[in-house]
């Protein structure tokens, strides 16, 4: 007796080529998702190793020998330590994990190896989201689960041959059927109010506003198209030339750049007389700073933040995740109508022995216009407008007397240069002045009525104090390039835009931002606070952890019951012939010909034919058909059964002849 060879279901059996291909594909996907934040040479080397191993196993199955594997392992660890300085932390840890995952493929031969590899790959997929939790990134990572699931399926011993499409579809089906439960768990899993261990390192370099400004350090920011914040207004949005969002006020100039004054807790918040006010809500992307940009000028600090003397708003904690806050600002106002001597002194501070020509120019203006501060402001703006100044994102470098160099020789720059030199000129002329940074402009999204402000909308302008009017916002950049204020930074940059900042492309990106905003609000920004307010519509103001756990348990049970219902459901083999006969019986019963329990179909239908002599032929035909279908054959064909039920449907019994 010969035994046919059969696949053995042992863990140690080598996996087949299909499973190995899928495993390699999964790892390639993981590697591709991590490539953006790994050093390029490491990604390249790992990709080469992966490709080589795949090719090598095609030639001959078997593990890669240890003398090749161990040096690679040591080399990987050394390289990570050399590059990052440690193997702990998010970046080095990720690099090491991805490297180990690829090296795991070298020894992946058995089912157990493949399963360990896939589990680890799932973990690595999740880690990729720690770097970018945007909608697209999340979708791509979720798609990365497909090859992982397909690999697990391919490890099963006896499968019916299916196409790749079917496999993809069945895995997608599994994920989609799991989606409701996943969403529910997502809503109800209690969030941690404080992290268990070190949250992401704040030293990670992000572009964003900073609390000091040296002309030139905005360049990176102005080419960064990522959203900085989104603003939805309670009423109509303010006019384009009023869309100034105040972040930092910088009052100290050291000759090179502007710095924020350290706040003095004893100092009172500058008084403000508000004219028209605007209420709005801002969703701010993580900045790793404390400042909360607000529309110029905020009246009240939002919750969990403090208003500073110069009407900057600083949050109590560093903003490490997207937050949302409501605020009210005055778009027409009189800020600090009375300037006390100390403040005035501070607002006139200038380092000595810098920028002599600027000082001379300011002195000349002061001489010409006397005590008319407003006229000096206008003179300075006129200088920018008519003095041959150019707006460019790539200005020439400046020397020690940077303001002099800018004003009298290079004459090109962007908002920082203009704001900085204007403020210096004002101070030199004896007018209290300071630099304000923040955002200006933004894209008004008509689809969802909100203002999208990108990092590239970062802006710097000046405030001068004029007697009787308080601090007045002056935007010298607008004097040079009015489009900067009306159309935005990218329009002002003219032909210096990169190809990908094309108009139509930018437009598409701006429209697509609706989806991103939704994602950021609904998913990324769903924090412990929002979770507590989850049940507010049902009258429960504060949903605590125990409540969440209970809800999670109850609804999980509900889902499990649904799932069980599906699992236990079996399609009963329906007897169509019997159903059709039932229909005929009930039709006849309506005419008073009821089938008795002792009556067989033949007897019953003959009796019916006698009772309905006009339809005798029809009834006899039905009877013969039924008898032949039911008793003359084992499995009547579907077509003939259908013909019988159609005949029954078309049969209309007439009134019984009494």
* Least distance from other proteins to the Cβ atom of residue 119, Å: 5
The residue among 360 and 529 lying less far from other proteins, judged by its C-beta, is 529
SS3 assignment for 111-178: HHHHHHHHHHHHHHHHHHHHHCCCHHHHHHHHHHHHHHHHHHHHCCCCCCCCCHHHHHHHHHHHHHHH
* Least distance from other proteins to the Cβ atom of residue 570, Å: 6
The residue among 13 and 643 lying less far from other proteins, judged by its C-beta, is 13
C-alpha of 284 from chain center: 13
The residue among 75 and 529 lying less far from other proteins, judged by its C-beta, is 529
* Least distance from other proteins to the Cβ atom of residue 160, Å: 5
* Least distance from other proteins to the Cβ atom of residue 126, Å: 5
The residue among 151 and 437 lying less far from other proteins, judged by its C-beta, is 151
* Residue that is written with structure tokens 């003398």 in the block: 67
> What distances in angstroms separate CA 535 from CA 119, 543, 566, one per listed residue?
35, 6, 30
Q: Which residues of this protein are in contact with other proteins, per CB under 8 A?
A: 1, 3-4, 6-10, 112, 115, 119, 122-123, 125-127, 129-130, 133-134, 137-138, 141-142, 145, 149, 152-153, 155-160, 170, 174-175, 177-183, 185-186, 189, 191-192, 195-197, 199-200, 320-321, 523-527, 560, 563-564, 566-568, 570-571, 573
Which tokens is 422 given?
Answer: 């204007």
* Least distance from other proteins to the Cβ atom of residue 45, Å: 27
* Least distance from other proteins to the Cβ atom of residue 334, Å: 42
The residue among 155 and 398 lying less far from other proteins, judged by its C-beta, is 155
Residues 6+ apart with CB under 8 A from 181: 556, 559
Which tokens is 452 given?
Answer: 């999208």
* Least distance from other proteins to the Cβ atom of residue 7, Å: 6
The residue among 149 and 485 lying less far from other proteins, judged by its C-beta, is 149
Strands (DSSP E) contained in 343-469 are 390-391, 412-413, 433-440, 443-445, 450-454, 458-466
Separation CA 16–CA 110 (nearest Å): 9
Residues 6+ apart with CB under 8 A from 393: 219, 222, 223, 414, 493, 496
* Residue that is written with structure tokens 């909360």 in the block: 292
Which tokens is 493 given?
Answer: 């940059």
Quote the Cα angle for 487-493-495, to 5°: 115
* Secondary structure class of 464 (helix, strand, coil): strand
Helix and strand counts by DSSP (H, E) for the chain: 23, 19
* Least distance from other proteins to the Cβ atom of residue 372, Å: 55
* Secondary structure class of 521 (helix, strand, coil): helix
Helix (H) / strand (E) containing 469: none
Residue pair 347/251 in contact (Cβ under 8 Å)? The answer is yes
* Least distance from other proteins to the Cβ atom of residue 587, Å: 32
Residues 6+ apart with CB under 8 A from 521: 283, 324
The residue among 6 and 541 lying less far from other proteins, judged by its C-beta, is 6
Which tokens is 173 given?
Answer: 């089906």
Residue 495 phi, psi (nearest 5): -85, 10
The residue among 196 and 353 lying less far from other proteins, judged by its C-beta, is 196
Separation CA 454–CA 130 (nearest Å): 22
Separation CA 47–CA 304 (nearest Å): 47
Separation CA 132–CA 126 (nearest Å): 10
* Least distance from other proteins to the Cβ atom of residue 199, Å: 6
Separation CA 629–CA 625 (nearest Å): 6
* Least distance from other proteins to the Cβ atom of residue 107, Å: 17
The residue among 131 and 252 lying less far from other proteins, judged by its C-beta, is 131
* Secondary structure class of 205 (helix, strand, coil): coil
Residues 6+ apart with CB under 8 A from 214: 256, 257, 258, 416
The residue among 112 and 290 lying less far from other proteins, judged by its C-beta, is 112
The residue among 42 and 155 lying less far from other proteins, judged by its C-beta, is 155
- Spell out a b/e string for 474-504, using b for 16 or more CB atoms within 10 Å of the CB, else e: bbbbbbbbebbbeebbbebbeeebeeeeeee
Residue pair 16/94 in contact (Cβ under 8 Å)? The answer is no
Residue pair 331/275 in contact (Cβ under 8 Å)? The answer is yes
Separation CA 564–CA 567 (nearest Å): 5
> What distances in angstroms separate CA 499 from CA 97, 174, 178, 389, 505, one per listed residue?
36, 41, 42, 26, 9
* Least distance from other proteins to the Cβ atom of residue 643, Å: 23
The set of catalytic residues is: 415, 459, 475
The residue among 111 and 373 lying less far from other proteins, judged by its C-beta, is 111
């Amino acid at each position: 007796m010969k035994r046919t060879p059969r696949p053995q279901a042992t863990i140690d059996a080598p996996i087949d080529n299909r499973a190995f291909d899928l495993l390699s594909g999964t790892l390639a996907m993981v590697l591709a998702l991590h490539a953006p934040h790994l050093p390029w040479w490491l990604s390249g080397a790992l990709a080469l190793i992966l490709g080589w191993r795949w090719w090598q196993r095609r030639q001959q199955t078997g593990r890669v020998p240890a003398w090749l594997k161990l040096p690679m392992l040591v080399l990987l660890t050394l390289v990570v330590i050399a590059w990052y300085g440690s193997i702990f932390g998010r970046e080095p840890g990720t690099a090491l994990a991805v490297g180990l995952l690829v090296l795991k493929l070298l020894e992946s031969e058995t089912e157990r190896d493949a399963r360990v590899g896939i589990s680890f790959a799932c973990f690595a997929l999740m880690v990729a989201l720690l770097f970018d939790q945007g909608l697209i990134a999340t979708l791509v990572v979720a798609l990365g689960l497909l090859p992982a699931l397909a690999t697990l399926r391919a490890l099963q011993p006896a499968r019916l041959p299916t196409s790749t499409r079917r496999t993809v579809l069945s895995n997608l089906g599994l994920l989609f059927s799991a989606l409701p439960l996943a969403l529910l768990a997502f809503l109800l899993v209690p969030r941690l109010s404080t992290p268990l261990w070190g949250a992401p390192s704040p030293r990670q370099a992000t572009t964003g506003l900073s609390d000091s400004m040296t002309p030139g350090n905005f360049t990176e920011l102005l080419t960064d198209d990522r959203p900085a914040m989104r603003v939805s207004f309670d009423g109509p949005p303010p006019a384009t030339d009023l869309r100034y969002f105040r972040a930092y006020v910088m009052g100290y100039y050291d000759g090179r750049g502007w710095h924020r004054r350290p706040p003095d807790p004893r100092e009172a918040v500058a008084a403000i007389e508000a004219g028209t006010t605007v209420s709005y809500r801002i969703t701010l992307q993580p900045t790793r700073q404390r400042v909360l940009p607000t529309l110029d000028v905020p009246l009240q600090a939002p919750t969990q933040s403090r208003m500073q003397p110069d009407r900057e708003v600083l949050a109590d904690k560093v903003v490490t995740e997207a937050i949302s806050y409501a605020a009210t600002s005055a778009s027409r106002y009189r800020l600090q109508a009375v300037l006390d001597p100390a403040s005035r002194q501070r607002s006139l501070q200038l380092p000595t022995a810098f920028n002599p020509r600027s000082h001379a120019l300011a002195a000349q203006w002061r001489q010409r216009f006397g005590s008319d501060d407003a006229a000096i402001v206008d003179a300075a703006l006129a200088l920018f407008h008519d003095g041959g100044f150019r707006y460019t994102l790539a200005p020439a470098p400046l020397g020690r007397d940077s303001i002099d160099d800018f004003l009298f020789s290079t004459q090109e720059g962007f908002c920082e240069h203009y704001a900085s030199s204007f403020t210096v000129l004002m101070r030199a002329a004896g007018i209290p002045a300071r630099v304000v940074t923040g955002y200006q402009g933004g894209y008004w999204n008509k689809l969802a009525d909100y203002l999208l402000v990108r990092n590239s909308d970062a802006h710097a302008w000046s405030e001068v104090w004029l007697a009787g009017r308080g601090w007045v916002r002056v935007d010298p950049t607008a004097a040079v390039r009015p489009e900067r204020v009306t159309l935005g930074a990218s329009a002002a940059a003219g032909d210096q835009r990169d190809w990908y900042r094309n108009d139509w492309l930018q437009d598409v990106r701006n429209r697509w931002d609706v989806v991103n905003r939704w994602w950021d609000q609904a998913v990324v920004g769903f924090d412990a606070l929002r979770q507590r307010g989850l049940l507010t519509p049902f009258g429960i103001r504060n949903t605590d952890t125990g409540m969440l756990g209970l809800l999670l348990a109850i609804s999980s049970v509900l889902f499990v019951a649904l799932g069980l219902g599906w699992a236990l459901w079996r399609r009963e083999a329906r007897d169509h012939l019997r159903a059709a006969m039932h229909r005929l019986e009930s039709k006849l019963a309506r005419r008073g010909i009821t089938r008795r329990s002792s009556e067989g179909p033949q007897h019953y239908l003959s009796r019916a034919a006698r009772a309905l002599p006009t339809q005798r032929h029809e009834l006899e035909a039905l009877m013969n058909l039924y008898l032949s279908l039911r008793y003359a054959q084992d499995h009547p064909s579907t077509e003939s059964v259908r013909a019988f039920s159609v005949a029954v449907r078309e049969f209309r019994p007439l009134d019984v002849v009494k």
